[in-house]
Amino acid sequence: MRSALYPFRRPRQLPEPLRVVVLGATGSIGGQALDLVRRFPARLELVAVSVHRRWQELASRLRGLPTLVAVDDPAARDAAAAAGCFGARLLPATDSAALVEAVAADVVVNGIVGAAGLSPTLAAARRGLRLALANKESLVVGGDLVQAAAGAGGAEVLPVDSEHSAVAQCLCGRAREELQRVILTASGGPFRELPLARLQTVTLAEVLAHPTWQMGPKITVDSATLMNKGLEVIEAHHLFGLGYEDIDVVIHPGSWVHSLVQLRDGALLAQLGAPDMHLPLLYAITGEQRWPLAASALDLLQLGNLHFHAPDTERFPCLDLARQAGRTGGTAPIMLNAANEVAVAALLRGDLRYIDVAAIIAGTLERLPAGPVADLSAAMAADAEARRTAVGLVKRRSRDSARRGSC
In a domain, 352, yes or no: yes
* 262 lies in the same domain as 381: no
Task: Name the domain boundary from 131, 160, 189.
Answer: 160
pLDDT over threshold 70, residue 10: yes
Whole-Å CA distances, 245 to 117, 184, 230, 266, 326: 27, 13, 13, 16, 11
In a domain, 2, yes or no: no
What's residue 72's pLDDT? 94
What's residue 402's pLDDT? 60
Whole-Å CA distances, 309 to 57, 207, 334: 40, 21, 29
What's residue 399's pLDDT? 78
What's residue 407's pLDDT? 37
* 125 lies in the same domain as 212: no
What's residue 403's pLDDT? 57
Question: What's the average model confidence in pLDDT over 191-203?
Answer: 92
Task: Name the amino acid, one letter, at 127.
Answer: R
Helical spans, DSSP H, in 226-314: 227-240, 278-285, 300-303
Question: What's the average model confidence in pLDDT over 132-143?
Answer: 95
pLDDT digits (tens, 9 = 90+) for 202-248: 999 999 988 776 778 998 999 999 999 999 999 999 999 999 999 99
The most confident of 212-216, 270-274, 337-341, by mean pLDDT: 337-341
Tally of CA atoms within 13 A in the half-sphere of 250 that contains its CB: 15
* 261 lies in the same domain as 310: yes
What's residue 283's pLDDT? 96
SS3 per-residue string spanning 31-52: HHHHHHHHHCCCCEEEEEEEEC
* 196 lies in the same domain as 136: no
Distance CA 234, CA 137 (A): 9
* 50 lies in the same domain as 152: yes
What's residue 304's pLDDT? 83
What's residue 99's pLDDT? 95
Length reported for the chain:
407
Q: How many domains, the chain?
A: 3
Question: What's the average model confidence in pLDDT over 340-362?
Answer: 97
Distance CA 305, CA 265 (A): 26
Question: Pairing mode, if any, of strands 179-186 and 257-263?
Answer: antiparallel
Question: What's the average model confidence in pLDDT over 127-138?
Answer: 96
What is the domain range of residue 357? 329-402
Whole-Å CA distances, 333 to 173, 254, 259, 373: 31, 29, 23, 11
Pair 206, 295: CB distance under 8 Å: no
Q: Which of 214-218, 257-261, 373-377 has the lowest mean pLDDT?
A: 214-218
What's residue 299's pLDDT? 84
pLDDT over threshold 80, residue 295: no
CATH number at residue 142: 3.40.50.720
Task: Name the domain boundary from 98, 128, 160.
Answer: 160
Q: Is 286 helix (H, G, I), strand (E, B) or coil?
A: coil
What's residue 216's pLDDT? 81
* 205 lies in the same domain as 112: no
* 245 lies in the same domain as 140: no
Average pLDDT, the chain: 93
* 312 lies in the same domain as 339: no
Whole-Å CA distances, 394 to 168, 215, 291, 321: 38, 25, 47, 18
* 238 lies in the same domain as 310: yes
Distance CA 26, CA 32 (A): 10
Strand order through the sheet with 247-251: 247-251, 179-186, 257-263, 268-272
pLDDT over threshold 60, residue 405: no
pLDDT over threshold 70, residue 259: yes
Distance CA 154, CA 168 (A): 19
Task: Name the amino acid, one letter, at 65.
Answer: L
